[in-house]
A and B are shown apart, each in its own frame.
Chain A
Amino acid sequence: MLTLAILIPMLGALALLVSPRLGHQAARAVAVGASVVSFALLLIVWIGFDTAPSAPDFQFLAEVPWIPSLGIAWRVGVDGMSLALSLMSGVLFIASISWPMENPERPVSYYAWFLFLESVSLGLFLVLDLLLFYAFFDLSLVGMFFLIGRWGHDGAQRAALKFFIYTLAGSLAILLAIIGLVLSMAPITFDMRSLIAAQPLAGYDFQGGLILLGFMVGFAIKTPLFPVHTWLPPAHVKAPGPVSAILAGVLLKMGTYGMIRIPLQMMRESFAAYALPIALFALASILWGAIVALGQTNLKRRIAYTSVNHMGYTVLGIATAGASLAGVEKAQSLALTGAVVEMVAHGLITGALFLIAGGIWARSQTYELDAFGGLAKVAPKLTVAAVIAAFASLGLPGLAGFVAEVQIFVGTFAVFPVIAAIGLLGILITAALFLRLLQQVFFGDLPSARAGFPDLSRRESVVLSVLLALVVVIGIYPRWLLDLIGSATRAIVGG
């Protein structure tokens, strides 16, 4: 089932590849169709998923041997965390593929690359083999490189190249760390479940620290954390809106997902030893992301930097969960649940924000905030969507971001009270920057150049309302999501 969910988008991509004469509409129909089928399969998995405490950690397992002598196999399976993330990715891919192209040239290959990226993103969350995890991690870079470079705006190639090299350097650090980790197993295996069970590096201080460093550097680049976030703003600004949505919504999650799955789960002892420095880096990202975002005059750069800030919250939650303190397992489990909810919420919210930004670019060819004002008068639907998304992003109660951040901070106060207190500042700044953004773009006087600014088309309205409806539902009634994610975090933290 999971294998099929990964394969179907890939087959869709291949089908598009061999039929280059297809029209724009037909290509999009194929792409939407393939991603909907894949999502439906994930829904079936979700319905069959058992969240009871007695249920096994990983379900829907399947295994096909590949390189037995190195313990490498096609292994898939899900726990609550990876299922939630892959469901979110499925939604976001359908949304981004349905969203109109910004510069509609060569649509067939555009949709083919999108499906390819969907396949490898789902693959990354669903596989339980470190080598395949790494393979999908790398392939996501290839897909993103071509999408940004080919369909981005002027100067996109440089941004794409920077993104590719920067993140490949990170992934090579991960590869070395993976090798170090599997070499400590006898016999060698890349099976995530055996590695989690074995905790092979327990007791190896120096070696464990080095391997942890490799993983954290690699994942920090992908997440991205301060100070290795500098590839993110150019990549976002040059990428078309739907590609940005995927980059922020899905690809950044690979970093934080990796942090939980590998260092936190497979090397608890080493992670605990360095939980405090990791939390400090998270705090730096929270503050730096928020402050720098406040100073941006470019719409997309501003949203891009809030991603640094939000991913900082996530990593803070992860660091809290990994700290070695007895007696606070409840708080740690809460923080980790919050971190995973933040990943889902940030995916949906920032995905929506970047789609909106893409829509604004498609209508005006600029991201400069100064060029806008009073859009509420001409584009009421766009305004409503942007207001909801911005409020969700700044953590307004009743929306998805709040559910996540409240859990992270409640959990963190029990473990790192000072860091949590300083981190709250980030929320204040984010609130300020989003309010100013809304005020500048949607309220005030309408510049004459924007007089004929068209409102959302039907297709755009449908896509945004689905994403934002999910944001509201998670905000008001988060039980179903928390149950799903909680089943995984309970197993990870043991609270």
Chain B
Amino acid sequence: MLRLKSPNLLAFVFLSLVLLGGGCYSNESNSRWANAQRESTQGVNPTATSESTQSQTASNRPPRSNKPLAGGEFNKFFPAASDGYTRVASQEKEGFAEYKLKKDGKDVAMLAVTDTVTNPEAAAKFRESTRQINGYPAIDQGSTATAVLVDNRFQVKVLSRNPSFTKEDREAWLQKFNFAGIAGL
């Protein structure tokens, strides 16, 4: 059996274990995100357009481009402010538009439309959908989000930012979007 006679040696072993433990903790913390970092910096542009052709459901429209639509295209299909809520434009990027919903000066929810052409996994998750909102597949995500997939391509999502804004509120606001307009893009 190994016996440690010197207190200094004992201290050294103890310190090493502490440092090793710290190192492991640090690596573990980093590794949570390291794969995503590696994958998105290895020459493949992860937000670039998917090569796969998007399925089309609107018969009288030419096939859509595989490039994401400008975020500004979505603006007119967002619901207007009503019932004491105010709406503030938040972000408008390629394939993405988002508004903040406020009540009594506080942020209560976010409303967003995304073109999933750069992120096919976002559309794929709707295969698990078991219900519909205004005729389109809907799902809940985590504890704060409810989303709808319009025409197999555009994700419309409402996110609670305050406990007072419930899942029922999210569904009610999703129903106010102009899905037909979005499907026509």
Q: Do A and B come from one complex?
A: no
